[in-house]
Structure 1
């Protein structure tokens, strides 16, 4: 398992270091992705693997019908943008999956043909993805880059800021309490709302994982719910999830909560949140021992 990262790194903007070159005589666009630094990281039970994914779309309009500068959105939920992207038949390039680190090294070279007449209307979407064993990808951070933004008549390397992916995946409300005598943490009354449930999902449950000093300690799961069990107020999970946590470890603990759906006998995380020892809910829990304290978290992408 990868070492737990310093929390200071979480405050830094993730960046991708990538070099570009356009050979006009050959109408060839070359790029070399070197590394991604400071991408958000949460400990996991197994070693994490990640890859860089670059989508190159040619011939996109850079202005609206009124002549003003436009920004391209790649959100699949936006029908017009999705259709526009499909009409340009973007080509995707993927690095090999490598172990995730504070700085994830790729060092891979790619090339593609871009005619001179569409050079100024070519957009590259750079995505940093976590990768599952079955090659399933979850976008962690990304950025859009018009390839003519900077001079690239010869190879030039740039460090581009990435935006952390934050799609609307739903929310998870949970209550947490600490029993100092028994030295246990209780996770109760989990309620998931506004979930993006796959139409073919077979069941849904909450999975909670306790880490101490960045190392896996214990895992528990709630009862399973049928997607049809959703009420106007979401999915309610009544099972108590009980973790053993020594008093001396209270200030080094992290609880990762994931909402999981089962699709074609495979488990897929809809989204996750973390209850950290430096967060408000954890502080309130320690201030009101034996009494549950609740909070609602926005779910974030996870593998």
Structure 2
């Protein structure tokens, strides 16, 4: 079918255009399926998504209300992403949409819808598998974006509607839902009628929370990642705001809720002071590459001939 078209479908620009058109159709459709499934599983079915955590309390069980707000913000960001798919004009933005995110986000939305169904059906092994696959896909997307399509000040909508929702989408299973689903699968829970047993498996919960938060803190310090900072602090707040919580887990999440923004500010101040100390402020990568390209072009052109009449009048 494609070979019969009167265009060269093997040309990279044509293939990228076709891929963009495909994403303009599939991404909103997958997002709609995701949102509709989550709404049905939350409102129509009983018990809903938020009620499952009440039936299976654990040391790292989150606050359903805060998680719902966070997921809603992810959906809003993805709606902006879908709008950007249609309105994008800059080639760098189109490349980030097609090659940086592309079909993995479509698949991720489908996996989240499948997770919602398995969660309300209390098929926790399936739920854990779905969340694990979702996490792998989103880690891949974020690595590609950070390595090949870094955010740039000249393209703020890329940061707002590409990097932000994809990064926040990844942090949701990484910090909360995948560990929590795994805990339920392994039986690391206590009976909702016996809250006095809330400290069961507290050290396992402490180890998980410490591990994911140390990872997040390193990312915040090294990359000065505002999105990760805000998302990680929100996830920590969703953990410690749900009671009862054993002290090791509660204290860890509380401290990292404060530590993430403090680390971001400290890292930014350090880089600014370091730039002033050496007498220069480091340019963003894109601006640095532009300057190097102009310098290389000037060197390649060689010395220019001076027009004496224009110089002396």
Which structure has greater strand proportion? 1
**TM-score interval (norm. to shorter):** under 0.3
Larger radius of gyration: 2
Which structure has greater helix proportion? 2
